[in-house]
Amino acid sequence: MANFGLARLAEDVKRELTSIFRNVKDYRVKDAMVSIIRVELTSDLSYAKVFISSMSGIEETKLAAEGLKNAKGFIRKELNSRIQMRRSPELIFIADTSAEYSARINDKLNKIFEGNKAE
């Protein structure tokens, strides 16, 4: 039962962070068009891992993660004012490569499928 509440809170945090990211003025974040893949909260709500991705590629995603790290104080304050939690979690931004990885696998599978189709 506790996991359900934690998962619901993680989704709320994800939704609010998406809205807050629009207000971040750092060029590394605005130019990268960052999207949140998932949010993982610890059970005591002291940490939140935020996995982000960008359509511009992994290098832009890493730059955006640095920009978000610099704006962490603003983001944490805004998050705390929007969601009432016992504790405002420490935010950890991680550049997620899963979208790029899945695109490469999809390309390889398409090439295999095309090769089998030619035979």
Range of the domain at 37: 2-118
Q: How many domains does the chain have?
A: 1
10-residue mean pLDDT profile of the chain (119 residues): values are 79 94 88 89 93 87 92 93 88 86 84 77
> Which CATH number characterizes residue 81's domain?
3.30.300.20
| Amino acid 2: pLDDT | 57
| Amino acid 56: pLDDT | 81
The DSSP-derived string for the chain is: -HHHHHHHHHHHHHHHHHHHHTT---HHHHHHTEEEEEEEE-TTSSEEEEEEEETT-HHHHHHHHHHHHHTHHHHHHHHHHHS--SSPPEEEEEE--HHHHHHHHHHHHHHHHHHHHH-
- The pTM score is 0.79
